[in-house]
Amino acid sequence: MKILIQNIKELVQILDNNVQLVSGKEMSTIETIENAYLVIENGLISAFGAMSEIGDLSISSKYDKTIDATGKMLMPAFVDSHTHLVYAGSREIEYIDKIKGLSYEEIAKRGGGILNSAKRIRNASIEQLYTQSEQRLKDIISMGTGAVEIKSGYGLSLESELKMLRTIKLLKQNSPLTIRSTFLGAHAVPAEYRGKQYEYVKLVVNEMIPRVGEDKLADFIDVFCDKGFFTVDETNEILEAAKKYGMIPKIHANELDYSGGIQVGVKHSALSVDHLEFTGKEEIDILRKSNTMPTLLPGAAFFLGMVHAPARKMIDAGLPIALASDFNPGSSPSGNMQLIAAMGSIMFKMLSEEVIHATTINTAYAMGINDILGSISVGKIANLIITKAMPTYHYWTYSYGDNKVDTMILNGNIIKLNL
Ligand code: NIG
Ligand code: FE
């Protein structure tokens, strides 16, 4: 299949192939070409440039399909590097308690929160989980996502964690999205281990990790290292155990307090540390000396009404930032990356250029796929968004709440949208 997209109003987020991530000041500029074309061959971006230099590539008989993108932008699809989108049912009932004033921690103490989702996962079949999750994948594609990381962590028993990871494996096999999986057995202590947290950590270390590792069900390991959840020592032990199976850390850190999660993540060369509402000078200094991607999840901070991560301070200190959806039923029930992009500007005061880096190349780095996705570069997988007509690319982060995707291309194929 060979496709030509021509008369593109602006081709956005062009990067050299060797750029792994974009940090600090460099985040405030992006490379674009106005009035551009792009060629897709065998699922990959094979050429692009200005229409004025298209030459022989304009001959339409060379292509299976040509698309006219007059007035529209062409950008890399979003990469969403942090989700929990395999879950059963929903939690809008406990949301009522939240509206009435209960905190996330209070809801969790009452058996709501993660444990509520765990109960639902345990009662769901793999077929039910698959059907619900596949629908969510179709929905996020319609809103511009081209790659997604998905975590386990609502099973909290060997059997149910395996059920979640096998569901993710099936989604990987069948979905046009690029998917990576993360084992998050240490998401919460299940009800039957209440008061025996360390015994649960031992179960994760001695039984769950070896089984998940041997069955090659997870690319990454995650721990909710935070106040009221798992300690730094427990996180350390879990990350050590997972290392033996090649699972790279991507951890939940510093959402509820200065938990030491950032430090333990960096110590284990985590690919990313995520949430980071509680990030001070010490944490920023540690991140600056690391290869770990600081990942912010504005959807959760917005939904839970939490303090905001100090994004500006972090970028101004020279750090890269990634923005992901955290799509989950308890703290961010949306996988709409266009909304996350807008929140980056509205809540974190990030420029549209910074937001574009943070939702494409930097999230691609945070899930280990920056060599194949996350920018307009020759040889990368053609996971692309043709936007509806828009005046400038700033419109992308300014106009929130409606869907600005006109056409999605995944692996070089035009996708029928689930609108
Ligand atoms: O990333 N912070 C931990 N876990 C999820 C929330 C999970 C839930 O409430 O179901 C998060 O926000
Ligand atoms: Fe999360």
Q: Decide if pLDDT at 179 tops 90.
A: yes
Residue 71: pLDDT over 70: yes
**Domain 2-77+375-415 sits in CATH 2.40.70.10:** no
Q: How confident is the model at residue 52 (pLDDT cuts 50, 70, 90)?
A: very high
Contacts with 30 (C-beta within 8 Å, 6 or more apart), sequence order = 12, 13, 14, 353, 356, 357, 393
Lowest mean pLDDT among 76-85, 286-295, 298-307, 366-375: 298-307
Nearest ligand to residue 330 Cα: 1
CATH 3.30.413.10 fits 79-366, yes or no: no
Q: Are 15 and 42 in contact (CB under 8 A)?
A: no
β-sheet bridge partners, residue 223: 186
Q: What is the pLDDT of residue 51?
A: 98
Read off the tokens for 358: 């943070």
- Angstrom distance (rounded) from CA 310 to CA 317: 11
* Structure-block tokens of residue 355: 């937001």
Instruction: Work out the percent of the chain whose per-residue pLDDT is above 70.
Output: 100
Q: Environment class of residue 7 by beta-carbon count within 10 Å: exposed (0-12), middle (13-18) or buried (19+)?
A: middle
Bridge partners of 36, per DSSP, are 8, 50
CB of 329 closer than 6 A to ligand 1? Answer: yes
The closest of 298, 310, 305 to 339, measured between CA atoms, is 298
Range 7-19 average pLDDT: 97
Residue whose CA lies nearest to ligand 1 atom number 8: 330
Q: What's the rounded mean pLDDT across residues 223-239?
A: 97
Average pLDDT score over the chain: 96
Task: Answer left, alpha or beta for residue 144, where phi above 0 means left and psi between -120 and 50 means alpha.
Answer: left
Which residue has the least CA distance to atom 3 on ligand 1? 224
User: pLDDT class for 104, splitting at 50, 70, 90?
Assistant: confident
* C-alpha closest to that of 160 among 202, 199, 190: 190
User: Best of 182, 328, 334, 340 to mutate for ligand 1, by most ligand atoms within 8 A of CB?
Assistant: 328
Q: How many CB atoms lie within 10 A of CB 277?
A: 21
**How confident is the model over 361-384, as a mean pLDDT?**
98
Looking at the chain, the domain(s) classified CATH 2.30.40.10 span 2-77+375-415
Q: Evaluate: CB of 229 within 6 angstroms of ligand 1.
A: no
Instruction: Reduce the DSSP state of residue 105 to 3 states and report it.
Output: helix
Q: How many angstroms does the Cα of residue 213 sit away from the middle of ligand 1?
A: 23
Atom of ligand 1 nearest to the CA of 82: 1
Q: Contact, 389 vs 405, CB < 8 A?
A: no
Query: What is the rounded distance in angstroms from the CA atom of residue 369 to the CA atom of residue 347?
Result: 27
Strands of 220-225's sheet in order across: 78-80, 145-151, 178-186, 220-225, 248-253, 272-275, 293-296, 322-323
114, 156, 254: residue to mutate for ligand 1 pocket, most atoms within 8 A of CB? 114
Say yes or no to pLDDT of 419 above 70: no
For residue 83, the CA-to-ligand 2 centroid distance in Å is 6
pLDDT band at 377 (very low <50, low <70, confident <90, very high): very high
How far, rounded to the nearest angstrom, does the alpha carbon of residue 108 sit from its chain's CA centroid?
A: 24
For residue 53, report the distance from its CA to the centre of ligand 1, in Å.
49
Quick one: which ligand is closest to 227's CA? 1
Q: Is the CB of 250 under 6 A from ligand 1?
A: no
Average pLDDT over residues 186-215: 97
Q: Where in the chain is the domain with CATH 3.20.20.140?
A: 79-366
Q: Which of 50-54, 63-67, 107-111, 195-199 has the lowest mean pLDDT?
A: 107-111
Q: Give the pLDDT band of residue 103 (cuts 50, 70, 90).
A: confident
Of the bound ligands, which one is closest to the alpha carbon of residue 105? 1
**Structure confidence at residue 304 (pLDDT):** 87
Q: How far is the CA of 129 from the centre of ligand 1 (A)?
A: 18
Q: Which of 104, 30, 40 is nearest to 69 (CA)?
A: 40
Q: What is the pLDDT of residues 107-165, one digit of tens each?
A: 888 878 999 999 999 999 999 999 999 999 999 999 999 999 999 999 999 999 999 99
Q: Is 114 in the pocket of ligand 1 (CB under 6 A)?
A: yes
Among residues 324, 330, 347, 376, which one has the least CA distance to residue 79?
324
pLDDT digits (tens, 9 = 90+) for 258-275: 999 999 999 999 999 999
Which two structure tokens, joined as six digits, stand for 10?
Answer: 């602006």
Which is more confident, 117 or 103?
Answer: 117
Residues 201-229 have pLDDT tens digits of: 999 999 999 999 999 999 999 999 999 89
